Structure 1
Amino acid sequence: MVKLAAKCILAGDPAVGKTALVQMFRSDGTHFQKNYTLTTGVDLVVKTVPVLDTNDSVELFIFDSAGKELFSEMLDKLWENPNVLCLVYDVTNEQSFNSCTKWLEKVRAQTPGTFLPGVLVGTKTDLAGRRTVDTAQAQAWALGQGLEFFETSVMVWWCVPVILPLRRLKWEDKVFKASMDYIARPYLKLMIMPMVMLVVVMVVMMMVVVMIIMVIMVMVMIIVMIMMMMVVMMVVIVVMIVMIMVMMVMMVVVMVIMVVMMMMMVVMVMIEMMVTMVVMVVMIVMMVTVVVIVMVVVMMMVLVARDVTQESAYLVHSTLN
């Protein structure tokens, strides 16, 4: 039993059904892609296919290629060393059939001087009312280019026979024994740059995120410091206001105390003056009283002396008489 490996290029214009065809083929008809998705670059699909009338098998590495000219440079690198070609066109789009010549030349340019086996596949045969490419015309063109020919519709899953022309090829002559590294090398080689770019972008994004986080942290720290300073300033201002108010209260209290003391002093002075005046009045009264008494005494003494004198004189006069 021999297991071979083959690189199959799936090429054709955009929207002809290449991706739907290969997805149905890979899933054996269980996965139908309902919505159109633009292929960017190449999608790699791997499926093992048995070779008819043998125990051998071929591991097909199918390069589902984008149909846009935008990706043409990428395709040139991915299409290195192809073994099998599958050209796809839309039976309702004559332009896609006419473009097959261009796609065939582009793929065969990768193997100059070597015959490249392949198959021409017409899709969307379920849209019979919109067909613009005649079956005989397409078959004749495929025969002239040395290609197998088949028409199918992904809608009704006629994709199993699509691989039959590939199975009928002489694998022992056209397919090389190769490892996965050999088959996938161009694909991996081209994918390295996007992966490197992705890693670089992720690193840059992480650095940017880290820088943004650091800036945010610095800003938060600055804001916190400013807020703390503002709080401290507010506390200081409040303390100063409180101190000023306390000082003002103390000054008022001192002033009240001083006023009270002055009033007390005035009252004391007034009391003292009143006491002095009372004392003086009392002394004057006493002095007057003493004077009056003295005068009364003197007068009494004078009267007594006069009486005594008169009495003496009377006695003397009496005696004399």
Structure 2
Amino acid sequence: MQKRMIFSLLTVALFSSLACASTDFYTGLGLGMSNLSPDINQQEQDDQRKFAGTLFLGKNIGSYTALEGSYSYLSSYDLNDNDGAVEYQNYGLSGLLYWPSSSSEWSVYGKLGANYLDANFQGSAANLNVEHKVSFASGLGIRWNLNENWFARLEYNLYDSDYSAAFIQVARTWGHSSEQAQLVEIQTDSVIEEPMVTEQHPQSITKSEMFDKVTLSSGPFDSESSELNESSSQQLSQLVATLKEYPEAKVEVVGHTDSTGSSSYNQALSIQRATEVSNFLESEGIDSSRISIDGHGETQPIAPNSTSQGRANNRRVEVTIPQFEFVRK
């Protein structure tokens, strides 16, 4: 019991210190089966397979590694020649290594760390000599990123040669909200004006206006949302003023995402975000015939998706006003 308390306190202290340093934590649970073949009175017993459950807390360290603490209930081993049972629980602390990376839609990973196996006696088993262990632990798994915040895993853990378990797990990542993209100030290139006097209408002047790119970058949206936040809506007013001043101008709106989640999910999300910007422009009096929308999902990043900041930069909406001509008298 004393070893278990020390192990738990060290794990809590470690993760609490990491929580003060950064985000990208995840928590999850899983259900599965355990395989138990304990040594009782220094004699190895037959295998028994039982239902098992696990809870875990982890911290992503970049896109390729993570640190994870876990608690697993491995169920009870029923004694054949004794009116009793031995209940097993495991406390673990492991490092994870992903390939190709934890931000990919699919990835495989390995685990290596230490665990404490705790045996609780039930019935007449209290009189038996049952092992309590601190040992190395290893594991293998497959991870599937469902969307920006949720992922699922299929995992096998080998606690030592006598104890193992396989789990189906689901988890949520916390901390993306602090990485959500900030709306960057609208930038416009200088206006090129080329006056040309026409023979038919000497009082009229044809001008050519060109805005190389009016960009709303780094995504004016909250994480995993296609709804414009309030500050973003206010800054879009400058774009509305430009379009009202030049009614001949048209606008192209293109949404983008980072690589977290499936490619089909990201494609749909990028179009939803572009549509939200289009709806805002229409609500401000810009005719829908002047607006075209598109989405490129995760296919056109402007920064590496291997870092939190890079993924935040890639969650964006870009707006372009192509070159146009108009007549002013």
What TM-score bracket applies, with the shorter chain setting the length? under 0.3
Larger Cα Rg: Structure 1 or Structure 2? 1
Larger fraction in strand:
2
TM-score (ref. length: structure 2): 0.23
TM-score (ref. length: structure 1): 0.23
Larger fraction in helix:
1
